[in-house]
Amino acid sequence: GAGVSQSPSNKVTEKGKDVELRCDPISGHTALYWYRQSLGQGLEFLIYFQGNSAPDKSGLPSDRFSAERTGGSVSTLTIQRTQQEDSAVYLCASSLEYLDNEQFFGPGTRLTVL
Amino acid sequence: DAKTTQPPSMDCAEGRAANLPCNHSTISGNEYVYWYRQIHSQGPQYIIHGLKNNETNEMASLIITEDRKSSTLILPHATLRDTAVYYCIVKRAAGNKLTFGGGTRVLVKP
């Protein structure tokens, strides 16, 4: 079946602009995660959603970052007033449930802030 | 979650076994060892995980020492497509947030 998809695959924006990144998880997966990966670095957790529970926003680096998950499926990560240090690959993952062991990752969105 | 230490890189000959070490000397009793890999320009991919017993699946084997302070991921017959960065992660099962460190960059050579 279809895996996790993300759009756009690449996004170039100017400093100060807002951007929206989209994630379509695997159908039926109740848990959805956002991570980011800076060039040559490891994975940094941002936020996760589990069913109808309040999201865990503990990894968001600033209040410029926010995320929504509508209808328990598609999620949007929004970065307001982008800064150059926001440049990274933003990865979305989903799993069957929060306590499930395997996360399925999308291909990521490469964000470049000029 | 406990910190892990991995060699930054290693080479492996195609068709041979690749043994990837990971040290996690501060691991707690309720923490699992997970392995993911990331092929260039792709998202991470789950490989295997274990608590204290050795584990094997279609991708790899995981050997965990008796004191659980270190483990080895074994790719039994490495192929060129196994070239990737391999991440060893230690975390509690109750909680699914992943944090990757530097990982081991594995280059499989013909």
Best CA proximity match to B30, nearest among B68, B65, B59: B68
Mean pLDDT for A81-85 is 97
Question: What is the distance in angstroms between the Cα of B84 and the nearest Cα belonging to chain A?
Answer: 13
Share of residues in chain B with pLDDT > 90 (%) = 79
Kindly identify which residue of chain A lies nearest to residue B34, measuring between CA atoms. A101
Question: How confident is residue A37, by pLDDT bands cut at 50, 70 and 90?
Answer: very high
Chain A environment of B44 (Cβ under 8 Å) = 43, 91, 93, 103, 105
What count of Cα atoms within 13 Å lies in the side-chain half-sphere of residue A106?
Answer: 28
Best CA proximity match to A42, nearest among B5, B59, B81, B48: B5
What was the pLDDT predicted at B95? 65
Tokens at B98, concatenated: 């992943």
Question: How confident is residue A76, by pLDDT bands cut at 50, 70 and 90?
Answer: very high
Quick one: how far is CA B3 from the chain centroid? 13
Question: Does the beta carbon of B92 lie under 8 angstroms from any beta carbon of chain A?
Answer: no
Convert B50-71 into a string of H (helix), E (strand) and C (coil).
ECCCCEECCCCEEEECCCCCEE
Cβ contact, residue pair B96, A99, below 8 Å = yes
Q: Which residues contact A54 (CB under 8 A, 6 or more apart)?
A: none
Question: How confident is residue B1, by pLDDT bands cut at 50, 70 and 90?
Answer: low
Looking at this protein, which amino acid is placed at residue B76? P
Cβ contact, residue pair A91, B44, below 8 Å = yes
Interface of B with A in 24-53 (CB under 8 A): 32, 34, 41-46, 49
pLDDT tens string B80-105: 999 999 999 998 866 678 888 789 99
Could you tell me the CA-to-CA distances from A72 to A25, A28, B7, B53 in Å, in that order?
Answer: 10, 9, 40, 36
Range from A5-14, A44-53, A79-88, B88-97 carrying the lowest mean pLDDT: B88-97
Question: How confident is residue B51, by pLDDT bands cut at 50, 70 and 90?
Answer: very high
What pairing do the DSSP bridges indicate for beta strands B104-109 and B45-50? unpaired
Of the residues B91, B97, B99, the best mutation for testing chain A's interface (the one with the most A CB atoms within 10 Å of its CB) is B97
Work out the end-to-end distance of chain B between its first and last CA atoms, rounded to an integer number of angstroms: 37
Quick one: how far is CA B22 from the chain centroid? 7
CA distance A84 to A81: 10
Share of residues in chain B with pLDDT > 70 (%) = 95
pLDDT tens string A53-69: 888 999 999 999 999 99
Chain A environment of B43 (Cβ under 8 Å) = 4, 91, 93, 105-108
What was the pLDDT predicted at A98? 65
Mean pLDDT for A16-38 is 94
Say whether pLDDT at A99 is over 70.
no
Quick count: other Cβ atoms within 10 Å of Cβ A109?
23
